[in-house]
Structure 1
Amino acid sequence: MKTPVSLIVKNCSMITPEFEIKENQSVVINEDIILAIDSVETVEAKYEAKETLYGDGKLLMPGLVDAHTHICQQFLRGRTADEYPMVWARILVPFESSLNEEDVSTSAQLSCLEMIKSGTTSFAESGGVHMHKVAEVAVQSGLRGAITCSTMDQGPFIPDSMKSNPFEAAQEIESLYQDFHGAGDGRIQIWFALRQVMTSTPALIEHMAEKAKEYNTGLHIHLSEHRDEVSYCLQNYQKRPAEVFDQFGALGPNLLAAHSVVLSESEIDLLKERKVNIVHNPRSNFGSHGFPKTPRFMQNDMPIGMGTDGAAGSSLSLFDEMRVLRSGLNVYWGLPIFDPMVIPAKDLLKMVTAGGASALMLKEQIGSIEVGKKADLVLLNINQPHISPSHKLINTIVECATSRDVEDSIIDGKIVMKNREVLTLDEEKIMFESKKALKPIAIKAGI
């Protein structure tokens, strides 16, 4: 008698945890867990599924993890390109301060829709306004997410509506935690946050770090994104940014440090010692901030995730982020020393899967296709002239695959997209409402 199960992905190629390709595999899913991985014949003989996804001509890979994004900035697309630095102070933060709940809800729907259609199954949201609306939409969408609120308590360019003292900031996140932590069958985590060092007093840094430890949850920050942070810290603390955060208790294994670009050698050693999770945002960083010391992080065996940094300057495609990081680091670090292996393809795939899982403190649950892990998976159509045939499919996926090649998405064992149709969100309605909302939001924000 065959064992009944929820779902079988039948006869696909598959990326193994070692980032090799295994062909003619079937993956058995029961509820939210990967139950078995075996040959097509063996699975067919042992299991009977309520639902089947056919993998012929497709590659099964772990769902991508966007480890640093800004969901509230979806309506800034195309607005921040060709701008001088400090865009976040002049445009991003003032824009966010103008948003109402309906704006944020529409932005979240559009963002979640784009993430699903781009192969992303999990995300870390670094905080904006009205984040209960983001959490509501994330639950509806089926995505897995770590969500927080923006916290700032100083800075002459920060609108008063975006500032709150340490205790008010903590109360807002604690309220969000009570309402949404563990929502969506455990898919939603609520974290604490610090926007960045220049907008945080020592009291805010200490309080957020303490609260994250108290609630046994994550702390999401922007770290060493640009040189202004370094200058500010040297002038005010006679220390560099990572050292300042360490002084006030923020560095630890629950810390997600987005960007991590302008770090000194001693700061990298400090981050390794504190087991901090590094997240790069290539398109954002290369456009205005510089090239991270990624080879050093890799040599130190430090976990590295990758994020899109939101849609303001680009898209929510982690496939594009991989390509940009590979090209940029090859030019900056590899070309001067004739080293084409400065960042191998499999390490890039690791960043957008297992590295992101580590950043979200979920490395035991997601990030690779293994028995016992959560079924967060995507299927790529590889039977296309820009992908097949290929001598090394891993290399080709990194160099050639796009978001449009993602045909099916499974999150927590449930199909959320099938044949490019998102099943959890109304794409036609979201696109109509988003186009209608863009101009009024821009006028209200003065951009």
Structure 2
Amino acid sequence: MDRRKILIKGGTVISINNNQLVNDQLDVLIEDDKISEINKSIITGDDFTVLDANRMIVLPGFVDTHRHLWESPFKGMASNWTLMEYLQIMLGKIAPTMSADDVYAANLLGAIEAINSGITTIFDWSHIMNTPEHSSAAIKGLKDSGIRGKFGFGTPGTSVWEWFYESKLKHPLDAKEIRTKHFNSEDDLITMALAIRGPEYSDLEVAKHDILLGRELDLQISMHIGGGTFGPKYNGIQKLNNEKLLDSDLNFAHANTINENDFKLLADHGCSISVTPEVELQMGLGLPITGKALKFGIPTGLGIDVISASSGSMFDQMKIALQAERAIQNEKSYQNLQMLDKLTISDIDVLKLATIGGAKVLGLDHKIGSLEVGKQADIILININDIGLSPTLNLVSSVVLYAKDQDVDTVMIAGKIVKRNGKLLNFNIKELLKKASQIANKSLE
């Protein structure tokens, strides 16, 4: 089989490598699925495909650390809901009506939507495991999209009242069969994780069982924590610490209303956090904790979360995360009748969260998250010729504050081009959107 050889020529590489910003005009050489060279004016032979990246930004693909992909057909349905309305309607009424075929189409659509916006890696937190067929369909949707990701095997979406309100039901042991049947290598694009309820949505003994199940299967374990009043009510981080359960394999989504000591515990144990700023602001989970996570040095990434309520674009989440944290710090200063002399968070900080930060959250930073020789060729090209981006004096700000999905010219995952010249390749988008509309209309009946 011929080797895949691609040269990205003449673009401006932006990447955070070893905590240092690379911002320079460089060529990037890809052989098969890996980056083999990054340098000035690389010369190649006729057997290389050359991508002209002049007037383009060359970036590592974005990493979405927390999204419920199965909700992709329901855009806008939850846009005016609180958290409790979301739990009662999306999980309480709609999830039980989803067929396995619906879940396949939803996951495929959601993953392709992510790819279109420059997201090359995703954590699918999948709480729609109604039957073994649903689980297989969700996994197949992810794999068929060509995205890199982690499949977070969650609980059934058959009864929110049984599974999510101080639940006493333990995580399905189907996880063991799923692990054996679908996930045989950590080198595959899609690997497995465990998406558990945790101490805010199940009782402590259940949370303990679920964490130990994840460790038995050698999986990353993700849960929601610190969501609005649930944070101080259940004091979940402290309970897990008392049980000696905190460790680096635990990922916590949100963490908006945990306390200062909780942040110290997470930092001390190497736990990670997924910030999903848009949904957190809408649904009353609390103010995003981006600044606190950075202050304590906790591995932190960004996520889209509830695609039925918020934008699926990492560009939007970066902007909201940045400006929300600036608003928090400005308000603190104002309350002391002062104004800040200097902003406390920069566009580079947030770009890091969307790339290498997210990769660290998912334990994949040895493979992805930055453009370095030997790493996987998960790369995006952003065209800066559009009036919305040009002229520009700051390319990092162009990415974080100005760019939109339509500015993503090229997406490459493991050296394979899946979007080029602004167009998705090899997907029947029309048929998929038709199926998604049918799923959405069914939910309204």
Match of 2:63 among 62, 65, 71: 65
How many angstroms apart in 2 are the aligned matches of 1:229 and 1:258? 12
Cα 1:181–1:156 change in 2 (3 A) is: closer
Please list the CA deviations of residues 409-431 of structure 1 after superposition, one character each: whole Å capped at 9, or x if unmatched.
Answer: 00011111112222242212112
Residue 168 of structure 2 contacts residue 206 of structure 2 at CA under 8 Å; is this kept in 1? no
In structure 2, list runs of 5 or more residues that go unmatched: 129-133, 334-338
Cα 1:209–1:384 change in 2 (3 A) is: same
Match of 1:307 among 284, 303, 307: 303
Is 2:229 the counterpart of 1:227?
A: yes
Residue 262 of structure 1 contacts residue 292 of structure 1 at CA under 8 Å; is this kept in 2? no
Please list the CA deviations of residues 186-222 of structure 1 after superposition, one character each: whole Å capped at 9, or x if unmatched.
Answer: 1111111212423323332222212222232200111
Cα 1:79–1:275 change in 2 (3 A) is: same
Cα 1:155–1:260 change in 2 (3 A) is: farther
How many angstroms apart in 1 are the aligned matches of 2:243 and 2:76? 37
Is 2:131 the counterpart of 1:142?
A: no
199-208 or 60-69, larger mean C-alpha shift? 199-208
Please list the CA deviations of residues 301-336 of structure 1 after superposition, one character each: whole Å capped at 9, or x if unmatched.
Answer: 221100000311112101000111112111122343
419-428 or 108-117, larger mean C-alpha shift? 419-428
Structure 2 counterpart of 1:236: none
Cα 1:425–1:246 change in 2 (3 A) is: farther
Cα 1:317–1:34 change in 2 (3 A) is: same
Counterpart residue type for residue 61 of structure 1: L
Cα 1:370–1:159 change in 2 (3 A) is: closer
Counterpart residue type for residue 33 of structure 1: K
Cα 1:159–1:245 change in 2 (3 A) is: closer
How many angstroms apart in 2 are the aligned matches of 1:225 and 1:49? 53
369-378 or 336-345, larger mean C-alpha shift? 336-345
1:255 CA drift (Å): 1.3
For residue 19 of structure 1, give the secondary structure of its aligned residue in structure 2. strand
Structure 2 counterpart of 1:321: 317
Counterpart residue type for residue 360 of structure 1: L
1:437 CA drift (Å): 2.7
Q: What is the 5 A alignment of 1:93-104?
A: 93-94=91-92, 95-104=94-103
How many angstroms apart in 1 are the aligned matches of 2:362 and 2:331? 33
Cα 1:184–1:117 change in 2 (3 A) is: farther
How many angstroms apart in 2 are the aligned matches of 1:79 and 1:205? 30
1:249 CA drift (Å): 4.7
309-318 or 242-251, larger mean C-alpha shift? 242-251
Is 2:194 the counterpart of 1:192?
A: yes
For residue 37 of structure 1, give the secondary structure of its aligned residue in structure 2. strand
Q: What is the 5 A alignment of 1:156-195?
A: 157-158=161-162, 165-166=169-170, 169-182=171-184, 186-195=188-197
Q: TM-score, normalised by structure 2?
A: 0.90
Structure 2 counterpart of 1:349: 351
1:77 CA drift (Å): 1.5
Q: TM-score, normalised by structure 1?
A: 0.89
Structure 2 counterpart of 1:27: 28
Residue 4 of structure 1 contacts residue 50 of structure 1 at CA under 8 Å; is this kept in 2? no
Please list the CA deviations of residues 62-84 of structure 1 after superposition, one character each: whole Å capped at 9, or x if unmatched.
Answer: 10011000011113321112234
Counterpart residue type for residue 295 of structure 1: G
How many angstroms apart in 2 are the aligned matches of 1:50 and 1:180? 34
For residue 153 of structure 2, give the secondary structure of its aligned residue in structure 1. coil
1:362 CA drift (Å): 0.4
How many angstroms apart in 2 are the aligned matches of 1:221 and 1:154? 19
Q: What is the 5 A alignment of 1:44-443?
A: 44=43, 46-94=44-92, 95-129=94-128, 130-151=134-155, 157-158=161-162, 165-166=169-170, 169-182=171-184, 186-231=188-233, 233=234, 240-287=235-282, 288-337=284-333, 338-339=339-340, 340-443=342-445
Cα 1:171–1:121 change in 2 (3 A) is: same
Residue 152 of structure 1 contacts residue 200 of structure 1 at CA under 8 Å; is this kept in 2? no
Counterpart residue type for residue 361 of structure 1: G
How many angstroms apart in 1 are the aligned matches of 2:47 and 2:258? 50
Cα 1:93–1:155 change in 2 (3 A) is: closer
How many angstroms apart in 1 are the aligned matches of 2:52 and 2:367? 24
Residue 308 of structure 1 contacts residue 321 of structure 1 at CA under 8 Å; is this kept in 2? yes
Residue 131 of structure 1 contacts residue 148 of structure 1 at CA under 8 Å; is this kept in 2? no
Please list the CA deviations of residues 354-402 of structure 1 after superposition, one character each: whole Å capped at 9, or x if unmatched.
Answer: 1110111101110000001111111111112221222211122211111
Counterpart residue type for residue 376 of structure 2: K
Q: Could you tell me the percent identity over the aligned residues? A: 23
Cα 1:255–1:59 change in 2 (3 A) is: same
How many angstroms apart in 1 are the aligned matches of 2:126 and 2:348? 30
Cα 1:402–1:156 change in 2 (3 A) is: closer
Residue 89 of structure 1 contacts residue 158 of structure 1 at CA under 8 Å; is this kept in 2? no
Counterpart residue type for residue 36 of structure 2: L
Cα 1:249–1:32 change in 2 (3 A) is: farther
Cα 1:152–1:431 change in 2 (3 A) is: closer
Equivalenced residue count is 427
For residue 208 of structure 1, give the secondary structure of its aligned residue in structure 2. helix
Residue 96 of structure 2 contacts residue 159 of structure 2 at CA under 8 Å; is this kept in 1? no
1:183 CA drift (Å): 6.6
In structure 1, list runs of 5 or more residues that go unmatched: 234-239
1:250 CA drift (Å): 4.0
Residue 197 of structure 1 contacts residue 229 of structure 1 at CA under 8 Å; is this kept in 2? no
Cα 1:47–1:179 change in 2 (3 A) is: farther
How many angstroms apart in 2 are the aligned matches of 1:155 and 1:431? 28
State the Cα RMSD in Å: 2.5
How many angstroms apart in 1 are the aligned matches of 2:56 and 2:272? 32
Residue 154 of structure 1 contacts residue 199 of structure 1 at CA under 8 Å; is this kept in 2? no
Cα 1:148–1:12 change in 2 (3 A) is: same
How many angstroms apart in 2 are the aligned matches of 1:226 and 1:80? 17
